[in-house]
Amino acid sequence: MFTETVFANDKEPLVRLTEIQKSYELGKVRMPALRNVNLEIASGEFTALTGPSGSGKTTLLNLIGCIDKPTEGRIVIDGEDVTLAPLHRLARIRAGRLGFIFQNFNLLPVLTAFENVEYPLMFSGLSRAERHARTTRWLLAVGLGKHFGHKPDQLSGGQRQRVAIARAMVTQPALVLADEPTASLDSHTGGEILDLLAQINRETGATFLFATHDPKVMERARRRIALRDGEIEREEPAAALERSLARC
């Protein structure tokens, strides 16, 4: 059903963060957001970042997503050191290697479902026929074959998130960053969305990294990384987590 993702180098971690520090200036005061973060994410992971509000989850996603830069440290994404990359290069990395799924969907209200999904491909250099083929393929894959012409306000919350998932995947990203993707959905719909994301992960090999408070996301993650006060507090590797779930 889905298109397999191709990685630059499967032998290296897809994401490597080394001694990451991130702080923000508030007047004359420097507020630390992340401290001494060392982290590797392998290709194909389905991993959750957990922790209370203010622990640094979204800040960490923004750094990995090339939306922000660290105060100190080094970030390598899919084999490329992006720490000091210029803004135009970061934009190309975001467009070509990364996908984003947000709590509030972030769909363009004046565009149809088809146009929202196609939008990331408009500057890709693909032909119109290929853009339409990919867009059609992904809308069908997420179960929206009857909703190509619907605008966001004509769709339910779950349908909007499916459009957002198709939009994130249409560029065939190596890494998908999902910030609270189930928070705006009821429990049943959120479970369906997680089933869909897990299926995409299995069938394409794309890596998923969630920032979440949702216990259902944490339960399904094959690895959990807990943050507190900007630091990694603890981590459950995939094998340990699978053993603990097997005992439940």
How is the chain split into domains, by residue range?
44-67+94-247
Across the chain, which distance is largest between two alpha carbons, in Å? 55
The pLDDT assigned to 244 comes to 46
- For residue 117, what are its two tokens? 């999904």
The pLDDT assigned to 44 comes to 96
- For residue 97, what are its two tokens? 């290697």
pLDDT tens profile 114-127: 999 999 999 888 99
- For residue 157, what are its two tokens? 């919350």
Burial class (CB in 10 A: 0-12, 13-18, 19+), 21: middle
Of 110, 192, 105, 191, which Cα lies nearest the Cα of 143? 192
In terms of DSSP bridges, do strands 80-81 and 72-77 run parallel, antiparallel, or are they unpaired?
A: antiparallel
> Which range among 11-25, 32-46, 71-85, 226-240 shows the weakest confidence by mean pLDDT?
226-240
Rounded distance, CA 60 to CA 46, Å? 16
- Assess whether pLDDT exceeds 90 at residue 178: yes
The pLDDT assigned to 9 comes to 55
Rounded distance, CA 246 to CA 248, Å? 6
Binned at pLDDT 50, 70 and 90, residue 191 comes out as very high
CATH class belonging to 44-67+94-247? alpha beta
pLDDT tens profile 121-161: 998 889 999 999 999 999 999 999 999 999 999 999 999 99
Cα 235 to Cα 52, 167, 185, 230: the distances in Å are 15, 30, 27, 14
106 — alpha (psi -120 to 50), left (phi > 0) or beta? left
